[in-house]
Chains A and B, each alone.
Chain A
Amino acid sequence: GDSVTQMEGPVTLSEEAFLTINCTYTATGYPSLFWYVQYPGEGLQLLLKATKADDKGSNKGFEATYRKETTSFHLEKGSVQVSDSAVYFCALSDDGDYKLSFGAGTTVTVRA
């Protein structure tokens, strides 16, 4: 079945540091890939997505590229801010299906 594996946290960074969160997936079809973010006390928000191989999703300075050859969708940001402190979830939705499979989530804390 479909599954998502995310790097374990928590991750603690200083402001302006580079952030990368690894995500790999297993899917039977051609999935769409997503990163969701959950800020403290709030619901999940879609951060970015990619629907086919080599697509790059980007939003708020975050980027992730759909790599079919390595079945990966790593999240990166070049210079994090304190406001980026949140839990980040990698997820996939297999071809033709709305159902999402989530990774375990990675807690990121950015210190001033």
Chain B
Amino acid sequence: GAVVSQHPSWVICKSGTSVKIECRSLDFQATTMFWYRQFPKQSLMLMATSNEGSKATYEQGVEKDKFLINHASLTLSTLTVTSAHPEDSSFYICSVGQASYEQYFGPGTRLTVT
């Protein structure tokens, strides 16, 4: 399966600032990547589908102006949380879509907004 990395693994930022999270597909050219959010002890919520070279597709209820997604190359997608607030604190996870509709997940980034 694909190997997916995320950077940083943990970030703390102050309320009102923006933070960028990177997702890299290390051994697979990913035309499609996914961004999820996971609250403590809860399931993953799909936020958006990131398509290389085009605009991301956001799920209903996800603010596209707050969660900016850029998929500039086949190996890199970024999620920028703009003007972060404490309620944005969460675990953000990316994944890469591969054959047989499988997805391979990054290790996640824990965001804490103070």
CB distance A98 to B103 under 8 Å?
Answer: yes
**Residue numbers in A under 8 Å from B4 (CB-CB):** 43
B residues in contact (CB < 8 Å) with A: 1, 4, 32, 34, 41-44, 46, 49, 93, 95, 97, 100-108
Identify whether the interface residues of B are mostly helix, strand, loop, or mixed. strand
User: 17 interchain pairs (CB within 8 A)?
Assistant: A36-B105, A44-B105, A46-B1, A46-B104, A89-B44, A93-B102, A97-B101, A98-B32, A98-B49, A98-B101, A98-B103, A99-B46, A100-B46, A100-B95, A102-B44, A103-B43, A105-B41
Smallest beta-carbon distance B45→chain A, Å: 8
Could you tell me which residues of chain A, from 18 to 72, have a CB within 8 Å of some CB in chain B?
32, 34, 36, 42-46, 49, 51
**Residue numbers in A under 8 Å from B46 (CB-CB):** 99-100
